[in-house]
Amino acid sequence: GAGVSQSPRYKVAKRGQDVALRCDPISGHVSLFWYQQALGQGPEFLTYFQNEAQLDKSGLPSDRFFAERPEGSVSTLKIQRTQQEDSAVYLCASSPIFSGGRREAFFGQGTRLTVV
Amino acid sequence: DQQVKQNSPSLSVQEGRISILNCDYTNSMFDYFLWYKKYPAEGPTFLISISSIKDKNEDGRFTVFLNKSAKHLSLHIVPSQPGDSAVYFCAASDSGNTPLVFGKGTRLSVIA
């Protein structure tokens, strides 16, 4: 497809369950970002990849969160032993190497995770 | 500590009038600013951006103004249309590939 694709769109997990969220970036995009958006808040940075290298994971809230992008395209965000505070929309964004100083990122529709 | 602040959670404007959405930032290292628009159940969509070397950027009905000394930017939409009703996020970055830092958003309602 032409845009960033995320799956599943919605996920309900029981507390303590592990979940895996998938992101298919725009083909050829070098950079990939994961954000977490809680209700009524703006997106908050979780982690960033350039190709397969995870360059920044400073936003991951705990060691229960893990992300990978092994071949530099599709990325998976895994959350182990989910807690209620993990309930949020998880957004994936990608961007190419822009010229001329442009830096916009293109977002997927997000995965809404609800932990019950 | 929020580095990007959108102090108005909501704004209501009549169709045809100007909408002005405001954003303040605290990090003086930010040198690139963006506005995103978000409809319910969709991801944010890029709208317009501005580099710190400029003070104004215009794209059709949308204009972004940057006041570096005040660490303030604003998005003007004129004329406003009902389809502009959405949540608008201000975002900033401080170098080529660092993550964007977002504000909490302002919900714009354009009333016909």
DSSP B65-101: EEETTTTEEEEEESS--GGG-EEEEEEEESSTTSPPE
**pLDDT at position A38:** 95
Kindly report the average pLDDT of chain B as a whole number.
95
Confidence of residue A1 (pLDDT cuts 50, 70, 90): low
DSSP state of A73: S
Position B104 scores a pLDDT of: 96
**Phi, psi at residue A60, to the nearest 5°?**
-65, 125
Give the model's pLDDT for residue B68.
96
Say whether pLDDT at A45 is over 60. yes
- B33: left (phi > 0), else alpha (psi -120 to 50), else beta? beta
Q: How confident is the model at residue B99 (pLDDT cuts 50, 70, 90)?
A: confident
Continuous segment of H or E residues that includes residue A12:
strand A10-13
Q: Which one of A55, A57, A90, A104 would you mutate to disrupt binding with B, by most B Cβ within 10 Å of its Cβ?
A: A104
Q: What is the pLDDT of residue B96?
A: 60
pLDDT per residue as tens digits for the range A77-98: 999 999 999 999 999 999 987 7
Contact (Cβ atoms closer than 8 angstroms) between residue B45 and residue B78: no
Judged against a pLDDT cut of 80, whether residue B97 lies above it is answered with no
- A59: chain B residues, CB-CB within 8 Å: 99
CA–CA dist A44, A33 (Å, integer): 10
pLDDT at res. A100:
66
B87, β-bridge pairs: B38, B107
Which chain B residues have a beta carbon less than 8 Å from that of A26?
none
- Chain A residue nearest residue B5, CA to CA: A42
CA-to-CA dists, residue A110 to A51, B4, B43, angstroms: 21, 22, 6
Which pLDDT score, from 0 to 100, does residue A17 have? Answer: 98
Q: Report the DSSP pairing between strands B101-102 and B4-5.
A: unpaired
Arithmetic mean of pLDDT, B28-49: 95
Cα angle B70, B76, B79; round to 5: 160
The pLDDT of residue A94: 94
Instruction: Specify whether the backbone of A101 is left (phi greater than 0), alpha (psi in -120 to 50) or beta.
Output: left
Token pair 């959108």 is found at B6
- DSSP helix/strand/coil, A99: coil
Please tell me if residue A33 touches chain B, with a CB cutoff of 8 Å. yes
Q: Is A43 on the interface with B (CB under 8 A)?
A: yes
Minimal Cβ distance to A45: which of B32, B97, B99: B99
